[in-house]
Structure 1
């Protein structure tokens, strides 16, 4: 079976939600979000084999998001940490769903997301729209829905 172009997923078709203190809200201000699981490996040597071998011994989750500067939510999170020492861990659900594609949708929840830094304020006379970068880590994830095989 060959993949048809119409079954690829458009990067702008989908949704992102953030769960903060048990309350879900749409992340309408997200321009892009990417998350990766990186395997932690060690090299081992065994008798009878001259080369190094690799063994996975754990993993770490990290990602980044680019947001449009249209929300004060992250300034509030920063203030809560700066003023009260409360570090916030949130869940983020990202759904990819392109109605043109026959593969359906995929929904992934990143759990215990902790932002490395918070955008506070910026000005940029050359910017058509203010964009802020945010890196994060996460401690767990779930696949709620997975893509199906294309039928085109």
Structure 2
């Protein structure tokens, strides 16, 4: 019999916390609907004598992300307005923690450092809509992982 993951160990999607820290002010970003941050490695093609193909060597990385949240906070628009009015760009941190008390994996926390929005919605309405939401694309300069998921029984 092979070892398989127990269904209870899947992490429930909405059991997360998201905090944004801007200029020393920490906000529980409870209006978040979804967020995804990823790291893409930059690779350089390396010619290798005696091979018909080239190798790939990591030569850097880029952090990007996107989020959707309820249209009921002006925090992002205030950052955009500050940039428009003063030319001073705003960098901030985002902390995401995933923890499902039913799962044996425990809690994972990722902190995205020096995030910067690509732009954002200034005004919006939808006469046919049920609720308003908005999307935010961003970049980040660094990240940390102070808490990691535990290995499930049978992984080792």
Note the C-alpha offset of 1:99: 1.1
Instruction: Report what 2:71 is aligned to.
Output: 69
Unaligned runs of 5+ in 1: none
Q: 1:12-91 residue pairs with structure 2 within 5 A?
A: 12-91=14-93
Q: Give the TM-score taking structure 1 as reference length.
A: 0.96
Q: How many residues align?
A: 152
Look up the match of 2:122. 120
1:70 partner SS: coil
Contact map agreement 1:74 1:120 (CA 8 A) in 2 = no
The unaligned stretches of length 5 or more in structure 2 are none
Cα-to-partner distance string for 1:126-146 (whole Å, 9 max, x where unaligned): 221111111000000000100
Q: CA RMSD in A?
A: 1.2
What is the CA–CA distance in structure 1 between the aligned matches of 2:127 and 2:102, rounded to whole Å? 38
Give the TM-score, by structure 2 length: 0.93
